[in-house]
Amino acid sequence: MIELKNVSFTYLSENSDESSAELNGSLSNIDLRIEKGSFVLLTGPSGCGKSTLLRLINGLIPHYYSGKLEGEVVIDGEPVNDKPLCKSAEKIGTVFQNPRSQFFNVDTTSELAFLSENLGVEAEIIKSRIEQTAESFQIKNLLDRSIFHLSDGEKQKIACASIEVGKPEIILLDEPSANLDYHATMQLRKLIAQWVRQGRTVIAAEHRLFYLWDLIDRVVLMDDGKIIKDYNKNELNKLSDNDLSELGLRSAHSPAPTEIELPVVTTDDKTLTINSLRFGYKQGFFNRSKVNNNIIDIHNMELALGKITAITAANGEGKTTFLNCLCGLERRSKDDIIINGAPFKRRNRLNSFFMVMQDTNHQLFTDSVLEEVMISLPEPNEDKALKILESVDLVCYKERHPMALSGGQKQRLAIACAVASERDYILFDEPTSGLDYGHMKEIAALMRQLRNLGKTVIIVTHDSEFIEACCERKVNFVSRG
Amino acid sequence: MSNQQQKKIIGGRDLINIGIFTAIIFIITMAVMPIGFIPVLMPLYCVIIPVVGGIPWMLFATKAKKLGMVFIMSMLLGLLLMLTGMGWYALPVCAVSGIITELILKLGAYKSKKHTVIAHGVFCTWLFGSYIPLIFMADTYWQQNADYGEEFISSAKSIFQIWTAPVLIALCVAFGILGGLLGLKIMKKHFAKAGIV
Amino acid sequence: MLKGDYGKKSFINPITKLVLLVTLPAFLMGGLGGTDAEIFTLIFPLVSLFLLFISKNLKAGMVGLLMYIAVIIAWSVLPSGSDGIFHIILFIVVGIVTGLLPCALMSVYVISSTTASEFITGMKKLFIPDVITIPMSVIFRFFPTVKEEIQAINKAMTMRGIRFGGRNAAGILEYRLIPILMCSLKIGDELSAAALTRGLDSPRKRTNICDTRFRFQDFFLLALCFCAYLVWVLSLFGIHFGEVVKL
């Protein structure tokens, strides 16, 4: 059993004094008891403190993240605060949000063994457990691979498996699906369902509810560092999607994005036509070992101009590569794209497409929000830049460093840059991954704003709610077809 | 405050930080290395790497508050130099420069900005390890590489003499301090503003 | 680096790999043993090529082999002794191909065929402390990460048609280095947190799942390295292998 007794926590960065304490994610007066074998979902808007709560349970607070801690966290009668992290590691496994940063090892099998090796479990036992886990999680094909050749979905599977090899009693999931597409999310669901069936204690912090909804025993709704609602299974069944959106939560019953019905193009639409687009690594003698999951071969795809088009795919292969090819970033793509009856060459596309990447950290370079928009304008013009910032509601942050913004704000800043670039086509790669309901709605409204400015908006997304909220056209993407 | 910070013992988190920053500094070094195939340009190592490396250094310094972290980094760089074929000489040089750097940081209680900048100057002398065979073992070195052609060797020999050793070290220190100052500026402009350090 | 996925089992022991990794540069680039050890400067490149082929790393192996053959042909065909610029370039190329290339190929082999678990075990068996081993494995883990980050940032710069590139060199540096450092820092923090919840700091004696038995090929390669060092040490005492053989 996990007990939090009147716990309050405020983050303190290492070099600052108390006055500059980070309020985001702090907790105040939390009382919570979680029974052994239950599956609890923590949810609430970004920054509500649900990740902080998980960190208190796995011991990262206070042993890794420093701050002011009051109250006590007790697991099976033992207080976590005085237990070193490696002790907690025997009992508690954590899967984190970012698939790129949670592996210590370069190869998958070492990663699976890592925890048990550190804890000094006998080699033969570790080997047989890896064997078992690979069997039950159906990941035999992922053993002995380099993590740099895995998709995000495969990486999350390995992360879950690496936990499983250690046989923890308690499993914590910190937004594990944030970077995953629909297909991979459903696969993740299968693994979590196994844990639930086996009667392990599972605690998940998530925005996306649909894939876990029928497994959950209890939902703890948080806001601003407090628990504001605590639903048991019976109360949950009574909640409709409407109730949820009123609580600022995501829908519990999302259809697969490919099943949403929207036209590809209508007869009145002007279109951009992709007669053919081919991209892929050469399959030569030398490259046999390369994993070819980025091959693209598309014929006769039409995209409506001046509309918001969603691009969805049954599984996530090649979508990002497709966007790269479309906006002209891939030199080796062979394409035949027609706009207004004339060919649309790669060089021209490079100047008329703007892409907002999935990880916006990679595309913000300067030291202030205003400067970021200024360098995107064809001619620096402060008034214009301020006007654009106003439209995305960021004027009050104009002097801030872009990296000091929250995830949703960074997304908006990137959109501001897209507007400033005065380009006609704006591409988005999973703009709502990891965003809560409120921020998702904001982004959806901005999409409509862009459309009203006459831009063609093309969004690769797996977020059904988001598609329903703003998209007008939809293309089901098949990387080879 | 967390237990780890109180203990002042190097833990897993510190070791990972050391690894990351060593990787970054070494990548910068590798990016500059190719100019060394023209030996006449080799002294430029002592200019470019310290200046650019100053930025990750100042960032690392905010993470390296425990005795020994900088020394370990120095030794790792020495090992990497060895693995990339700069010979064994780099290791003792890195050990000495690592210890002195550590002492300077210690004098500043791992806090003083001034000490951190100066420490970078000393730290950068790790680069000197790669010159040792050229300078102190010039005869054997050029014997082995006699194929370069006489004209070439004589010009290289005229550059790498005993007197160049103090000059190179001075270059490392001077540009190391410059790089440290640059790093300090960048820290203020970006990392402090972004609330990261 | 880090090409290809891993085979089930390595051909040689991690300890042998580490010894080779240190020995090759010492003799091929560091010039230990001088003319006495010349024979080893011919053997070691063949060893690294052989290991690449046996680990099915065909691309690196073929590239290495072709360059090696090309240089040997150029060496024997072209007239020597001239002193022109072409000659200098040729010698530089020869120096790279016979010295640097085999060492680089050996690194490719070791990095692509060694799992982290094997690496840590090997280092431990060579009595290298954790404070060196753990950062080392992070370094190897981090090289490809930095590569991914650089690619993503370059892509973003091309896409945005970043115009300040022309303004000054410092700008290019700043706008590239800063995002890389920012992302690295973030990844590093998350990596540490994840590693600590997976027992990185555990004081218990670490076990390992890899096979560290020595097989015939290990003894053979270790003996080869030992001979090379022996020749070097003897030459320090004035006993020259080259002359001994002639006698």
A66 Cβ under 8 Å from any chain B Cβ: yes
With CB atoms and an 8 Å threshold, state whether A13 touches B62.
no
- Using one digit for the tens of pLDDT, what is the confidence trace for A66-103? 888 999 999 998 888 888 888 889 999 999 999 888 99
Between residues A283 and A132, the one the model is more confident about:
A132
Q: Give the pLDDT score at B32.
A: 87
Split at pLDDT 50, 70, 90, the class of B73 is very high
**Which amino acid, one-letter code, is at C115?**
T
A460, β-bridge pairs:
A311, A429
Closest CA to B179 of B19, B37, B48: B48
The shortest CB-CB distance from B148 to any of C22, C30, C91 is to C91
Coil, strand, or helix at residue B159?
helix
Whole-number Cα distances in Å, C124 to A111, B15, C133: 18, 16, 8
Report CA torsion sign: B118, B121, B123, B125: negative
Strand order in the sheet with A353-356: A353-356, A425-429, A456-460, A308-313, A473-477
**Which amino acid, one-letter code, is at A212?**
L
DSSP string, C162-182: -SGGGT-HHHHHHHHHHHHHH
Between residues C230 and C171, the one the model is more confident about:
C230
Whether residue C165 is predicted with pLDDT greater than 60 in this model: the reply is: no
Rounded distance, CA C181 to CA C175, Å?
Answer: 10
Whether residue B158 is predicted with pLDDT greater than 80 in this model: the reply is: no
Whole-number Cα distances in Å, A66 to A49, C51, C211: 15, 48, 40
Q: Give the pLDDT score at B147.
A: 59
Pairing of strands A67-75, A170-174: unpaired
Tell me the mean pLDDT in the region A169-194: 92
- Average pLDDT taken over every residue of chain A: 88
Q: Give the pLDDT score at B145.
A: 62
Residue of C nearest to A115 (CA): C198
- CA distance between the termini of chain B: 17
Whether residue A23 is predicted with pLDDT greater than 70 in this model: the reply is: no
Pairing of strands A78-79, A67-75: antiparallel
Rounded distance, CA A142 to CA A180, Å?
Answer: 17
Q: Give the pLDDT score at C64.
A: 85
Rounded distance, CA B27 to CA B37, Å?
Answer: 17
Strand order in the sheet with A2-11: A22-34, A2-11, A67-75, A78-79
Whether residue C158 is predicted with pLDDT greater than 80 in this model: the reply is: yes
**What is the DSSP-derived secondary structure letter of residue A307?**
S
List the beta strands (DSSP E) in A305-345: 308-313, 334-339, 342-343
List all chains that touch chain C, counting a touch as 3 or more CB pairs closer than 8 Å.
A, B
Q: Give the pLDDT score at A11.
A: 87
- Using one digit for the tens of pLDDT, what is the confidence trace for C138-156? 998 998 899 888 889 888 8
> And the tokens for B114?
């001034």
Whether residue C177 is predicted with pLDDT greater than 70 in this model: the reply is: yes
Measured CA angle at B77 (ends B72, B78), to 5 deg: 95
* A and B: number of Cβ contacts within 8 A: 35
Q: Which of residues 214-243 of C touch A (CB under 8 A)?
A: none
Yes or no: say if C116 and C209 are a contact pair by the CB < 8 Å rule: no
Whether residue C8 is predicted with pLDDT greater than 60 in this model: the reply is: no
Between residues A196 and C87, the one the model is more confident about:
A196
Rounded distance, CA A357 to CA A368, Å?
Answer: 19
Residue of A nearest to C2 (CA): A146
Whether the upstream peptide bond of residue A62 has omega within 30° of 0, thus cis, is yes
B167 Cβ under 8 Å from any chain C Cβ: no
Coil, strand, or helix at residue A257?
helix
With CB atoms and an 8 Å threshold, state whether C34 touches B140.
yes
Min distance A101 CA to chain B CA atoms (Å)? 12
Lowest mean pLDDT among A73-87, B1-15, C176-190: B1-15
Q: Give the mutation candidate from C3, C150, C196, C211 for the A interface (greatest A CB count, under 10 A).
A: C196
Between residues A271 and B148, the one the model is more confident about:
A271
- Using one digit for the tens of pLDDT, what is the confidence trace for A354-405? 999 988 988 888 889 999 999 888 888 899 999 999 999 899 999 999 998 8
**Which amino acid, one-letter code, is at C170?**
A
Whether residue B93 is predicted with pLDDT greater than 70 in this model: the reply is: yes
Q: Give the pLDDT score at C83.
A: 57
> And the tokens for B2?
């967390």
Highest mean pLDDT among A364-373, C49-58, C163-172: A364-373
Q: Give the pLDDT score at B146.
A: 60
The shortest CB-CB distance from A66 to any of B2, B196, B197 is to B2
**Which amino acid, one-letter code, is at C185?**
L
Strand order in the sheet with A92-95: A92-95, A170-174, A201-205, A39-43, A218-223, A226-232
Residue of B nearest to C196 (CA): B12
Delineate the domains of chain A, giving CATH numbers in brackets: 2-246 (3.40.50.300), 257-282+290-477 (3.40.50.300)
Split at pLDDT 50, 70, 90, the class of A481 is low
Q: Give the pLDDT score at C172.
A: 72
Q: How many CA atoms lie within 13 A of C167 on its CB side?
A: 11
Whether residue C182 is predicted with pLDDT greater than 50 in this model: the reply is: yes
Tell me the mean pLDDT in the region C97-105: 82
Split at pLDDT 50, 70, 90, the class of A22 is low
Closest CA to A210 of A462, A478, A446: A462
Q: Which residues of A touch C162 (CB under 8 A)?
A: 365, 375
Whether residue B105 is predicted with pLDDT greater than 50 in this model: the reply is: yes
**Which amino acid, one-letter code, is at B191?**
F
Whether residue C6 is predicted with pLDDT greater than 50 in this model: the reply is: no
Residues of chain C with pLDDT > 90: what percent?
15
Yes or no: say if A435 and A360 are a contact pair by the CB < 8 Å rule: no
Q: Where are the domains of chain B?
A: 3-192
ipTM > 0.90 for the complex: no
**Which amino acid, one-letter code, is at C112?**
S
A232: CB partners within 8 A, 6+ apart: A217, A218
Whether residue C206 is predicted with pLDDT greater than 90 in this model: the reply is: no
Residue of C nearest to A88 (CA): C197
Highest mean pLDDT among A240-244, C61-65, C192-196, C206-210: C192-196
With CB atoms and an 8 Å threshold, state whether C201 touches A286.
no
B17 Cβ under 8 Å from any chain C Cβ: yes
* A and C: number of Cβ contacts within 8 A: 199
Whether residue C53 is predicted with pLDDT greater than 60 in this model: the reply is: yes
Whether residue C82 is predicted with pLDDT greater than 90 in this model: the reply is: no
Residues of chain A with pLDDT > 90: what percent?
56
